[in-house]
Structure 1
């Protein structure tokens, strides 16, 4: 009996040793038995997010739309600084016809060759034949050598050119209306003359003077012109009224002026189409625009935009537009003072209306009121 008990105990000890060896082999790289319910492979439960109070991070809820930032509006330059820059630009221009004339008439001896050169300089600068003859005759008389009393050539030339440009003309922009209605400025000119850009620049001048302005994009045949005008308006916070592409220009002009009346604007500026395929079509279109506008408020100013570098072509354009609408003022763009400064004289004589604004550069504030004396002074350096 005792031997049997020892035998059972021995078998049990041997079994335990075998199991222990099997476990050691499995953990040291041997082939393991298939996992069972008692395996030590643990699948960790998903970690719950910590409460907001503990993490300090707010769980994303619904997406909240960020409010668009208000656009930063530009503050345009005032008139005084524009005029100063105008003088500097003109005075800094090399080769201007004013300096060429001054050099010629300052010669010790004024022979016929010199007078011919003076005539050529004036004609090349687009002054025109009749004004050129007038200036030469006056200069001949005043610069005739009379002993030691010969007048100063610069003073004489300055006075003659100033008279030619005519400082007596009224160059004020008619931008205010009557009876509480806004002034209406109609801007006309051929495409490519800088017409739409000029509308935007005039708006900047008025904004600098604290005027409330509405722009009408009535050049509906050029989508680029409408978009360009909208950009100008956005930069200074000016409302721009536009219509569908190829829509009725008169309808856009009407809505722009109506908006100006309803909102109490000081001035409405209307950009128009500048096509010159035929005069009859242009006349019909601009005539209709003006008639429709005046159902809301009278047109107080009609500005013709001309590219100063086009010379005689610019005068042809001026004649066509003056026959179509009652032009009251001229805007000369690209007037760098170098070779075509005489166009001021020629176009004023052609139309009998004053140059009111001049542009000398591509910058947004490179448009300034025209002043005859300052213009001549700058041309002569």
Structure 2
């Protein structure tokens, strides 16, 4: 945990500068709590990629709590904001819905370029380390390099992959994957899907077809639909969350590339606006750098209050 916490703090340095330090600047050195202060706070949150809706909600909550607690000095708002952000991060189920004694089907969705393939490799490695037998189905048959890249990551993770040639029907690959998972007694089947958004109708139809195959073969599946989002894209990640939320029932998010971005504040918008709990975060290039999302640890690393944990 200590190693993880240090890594998390390190990964959130730029987000902290863009987010917490901006907010701290607004509330430091000012005595009264007034409407001008709340306007400045709102602006700072929006600039930190929190999202307009979530920024408005946070400021409205601060306004209400400041009044309830009869706060008069601006610096007192920082603690309130930290509490509210921690509460927001804690909403939803952050642990993976995975059980022994069944084939757990995890559908991975997201646009190309967000780190979908690497996330599948890292997630498969993590699940294997946790003692699960993992199989991957290469359902993105649209992109020429997708199958090859996935194969490389599966080799690194030490898990088997089921694939057909480029241009094959993704639903057929998924069917093959389920049959292979049965015969090989796999615990988890991770399914990759195409990430093209140019034609939402095609994407919707393809994902529906895949889902129908899964539901027919495994009636209580898929057990997770994880949306991969790239933290470095900020507000763009929110629009992708909206589109995929319309297309498929997202159960959670893998937020990649948190290390080295100033736009990690987007995590609040994802959780608050779309109610998609973040389940994993990517904090580096290594195989073990896909970590379980722990809301309290994230908030502590962001606000930097737990020096004793370093």
- Measured against the shorter chain, the TM-score band is 0.7 to 0.9
Q: 2:82 — aligned with what? A: 158
1:360 aligns with 2:295: no
Distance 2:246 2:177 in 1: 25
Alpha-carbon offset, residue 191 of structure 1: 0.7
Alpha-carbon offset, residue 114 of structure 1: 4.2
Q: 1:120 — aligned with what? A: 43
Q: 1:160 to 1:338 in 2, by over 3 A?
A: farther
Distance 2:187 2:29 in 1: 53
1:272 aligns with 2:196: no
Distance 1:103 1:81 in 2: 30
5 Å matches for 1:282-361?
282-297=203-218, 298-336=221-259, 338-361=261-284
Alpha-carbon offset, residue 261 of structure 1: 1.4
1:207 aligns with 2:128: yes
Alpha-carbon offset, residue 186 of structure 1: 0.3
Q: 1:54 — aligned with what? A: none
Pairing partner for 2:118 from 197, 200, 205: 197
Q: Is the 8 A contact 1:82 1:365 kept in 2?
A: no
Q: SS of the residue aligned with 2:173?
A: helix
Q: Is the 8 A contact 2:19 2:45 kept in 1?
A: yes
Q: 1:107 — aligned with what? A: 29
Could you state the TM-score of these two structures normalised by the residue count of structure 2?
A: 0.86
Alpha-carbon offset, residue 237 of structure 1: 1.7
Q: Is the 8 A contact 1:181 1:264 kept in 2?
A: no
Q: SS of the residue aligned with 1:184?
A: strand
Alpha-carbon offset, residue 80 of structure 1: 8.1
Q: Is the 8 A contact 2:28 2:74 kept in 1?
A: no
Q: SS of the residue aligned with 1:295?
A: helix
Distance 1:307 1:317 in 2: 10
Alpha-carbon offset, residue 243 of structure 1: 0.7
Distance 1:150 1:104 in 2: 8
Q: SS of the residue aligned with 1:294?
A: helix
Q: SS of the residue aligned with 2:238?
A: helix
Equivalences, count = 300
Q: Is the 8 A contact 2:141 2:170 kept in 1?
A: yes
Q: Point out the structure with max Rg over C-alpha.
A: 1
Distance 1:374 1:262 in 2: 40
Distance 2:246 2:71 in 1: 52
Distance 2:111 2:27 in 1: 38
Q: SS of the residue aligned with 1:270?
A: strand
Q: 1:337 to 1:244 in 2, by over 3 A?
A: closer
Q: SS of the residue aligned with 2:288?
A: coil
Distance 1:212 1:192 in 2: 27
RMSD: 2.7
Alpha-carbon offset, residue 276 of structure 1: 1.2
Q: 2:308 — aligned with what? A: none
Structure 1: stretches of 5+ with no match in the other structure: 1-78
Q: 1:115 to 1:351 in 2, by over 3 A?
A: closer
Distance 1:169 1:268 in 2: 24
Q: Is the 8 A contact 2:14 2:261 kept in 1?
A: no
Q: 1:241 — aligned with what? A: 162
Q: 1:135 to 1:316 in 2, by over 3 A?
A: closer
Q: 1:236 to 1:129 in 2, by over 3 A?
A: closer
Q: 1:129 — aligned with what? A: 52
Distance 2:247 2:267 in 1: 21
Distance 1:229 1:175 in 2: 22
Distance 1:130 1:316 in 2: 13
Q: Is the 8 A contact 1:359 1:366 kept in 2?
A: yes
Could you state the TM-score of these two structures normalised by the residue count of structure 1?
A: 0.71
Q: SS of the residue aligned with 2:12?
A: helix
Alpha-carbon offset, residue 189 of structure 1: 0.6
